[in-house]
Amino acid sequence: MPIATDIKRELFAALSWRTEARAAGMTAERGVRMRDRVGHLMRWARAHDSLPEIENRAVILCFHGVVAHQPDPDVECEHVHVARFRQLLRVIRRSFHPLALAELVDCIRQRVSPPPKSVVITFDDGYANNAEVAAEELDRFRMPWSAFLPAQLIETGTYQWIDDVRLLVHGGGARSVCLPGDDGPLTLHLETRDARHEAVRAIHQLCRYVPDDVRRARLAHLYAAFPTGLLEELRARYRSFAPMTWEQARQLKSAGVDVGSHSLTHTALGPQSPEAIRHEVFAARALLQARIGEHCPHFSYPYGRRASLSQQTEAVLFEAGYNCALTLEPDVVRCDEVNLLQLPRLIVSPLIGRMVFNLWQRFLR
């Protein structure tokens, strides 16, 4: 019924623009909540069935973790509850075209349009819950997906510093911490929830796009501000940050999951020296090869924003035989003009309604 479809599309388009206009006058947090509510309405009403079938456009989604418990909104803010995950997979299976990353790469290389409304699912960081929780759901919905592993962290069972920062700041009980900043010592107050969020942002900012030795020196001040053993205690309480084992990675690979590289130590490649960039790419490739055998020629940049990549990183990835590299620049893939070594992705937040709303807007324009 094309007329009914057109009317439905018009109605939901108008609703989404009105939502945007109203959200513009609210605090960011209230705006996010409103988009989440409208997204749930769209999911329930199957709004996405009426989206136009635009050529040459796809979306790559980036998940981090899926957990079976209710994620702590302060600490596990990049982990999705399994029931929400299922809701999103249902929308994708019903109203979109799930596509494997390798298929999207083939379409781009051969200059043919992927099927309309194509969605690629990827997971970064190699958390154990990818294998323990997400894999079963993806399998149930027959979804192809990619997992990007930071090889050295898997090898040594190391937790990511970025997660440690959230654990210590929100769960460590300190009133303030002091870190060396770009312009002298930086004191961060941790007494209120808002202040702790601001502190996490500031520490991530200070430590993300700097050479490894600078980051280590800065974080040493943070770790020293908390009692010995506390971090281990917090890690044990939040199992969602545990890295997967090589055995789990091998099981995923033999179940048909596309396993790719997420560098060696999960460092932002852009600011590193040329030798360090080569080491991160080639040593990760060798370690993956040794532990799981031939892996897919796909790479995902740690942190993924512009500062994580450079012409140098692209040249090294090309030399190492990677045929695509994924960023976290939030955009749709415009297949007729995209650079395969800079494929954009949308990060999936725990607010699935907001994600459903986002998918509507990305495919409507």
- Per CB under 5 A, residues contacting Zn ion are 124-125, 302
Q: How far is the CB of 243 from Zn ion (least distance, A)?
A: 11
Q: Which is nearer to Zn ion, 36 or 163 (CB)?
A: 163
Three-state DSSP at 259 gives: strand
What are the structure tokens assigned to 198, written together?
């601001």
Q: How far is the CB of 328 from Zn ion (least distance, A)?
A: 8
DSSP line for 79-109: EEEHHHHHHHHHHHHHHSEE--HHHHHHHHH
Contact criterion met (CB below 8 Å) for 119 and 340: no
Q: Which is nearer to Zn ion, 76 or 124 (CB)?
A: 124
Q: What is the CA radius of gyration of the chain?
A: 21
Q: Which is nearer to Zn ion, 159 or 357 (CB)?
A: 159
Q: How far is the CB of 268 from Zn ion (least distance, A)?
A: 10
In angstroms, the CA 182 to CA 148 distance is 32
Provide the 10 A C-beta neighbour count for residue 56: 19
Q: How far is the CB of 300 from Zn ion (least distance, A)?
A: 7
Task: Give residue number: closest CB to Zn ion.
Answer: 124
SS (H, E, C) 145-211: EEEEECHHHHHHCCCCHHHHHHHHHHHCCCCEEEEEECCEEEEEECCCHHHHHHHHHHHHHHHHCCC
Sign of the alpha-carbon torsion through 67, 303, 281, 340: positive
Provide the 10 A C-beta neighbour count for residue 155: 18
Q: How far is the CB of 7 from Zn ion (least distance, A)?
A: 42
Q: Which is nearer to Zn ion, 124 or 163 (CB)?
A: 124
Question: Which residue in this structure is represented by tokens 């990060």?
Answer: 347
Q: Which is nearer to Zn ion, 303 or 357 (CB)?
A: 303
Q: How far is the CB of 317 from Zn ion (least distance, A)?
A: 16
Q: How far is the CB of 125 from Zn ion (least distance, A)?
A: 4
Q: Which is nearer to Zn ion, 42 or 249 (CB)?
A: 249
Q: Which is nearer to Zn ion, 209 or 357 (CB)?
A: 209
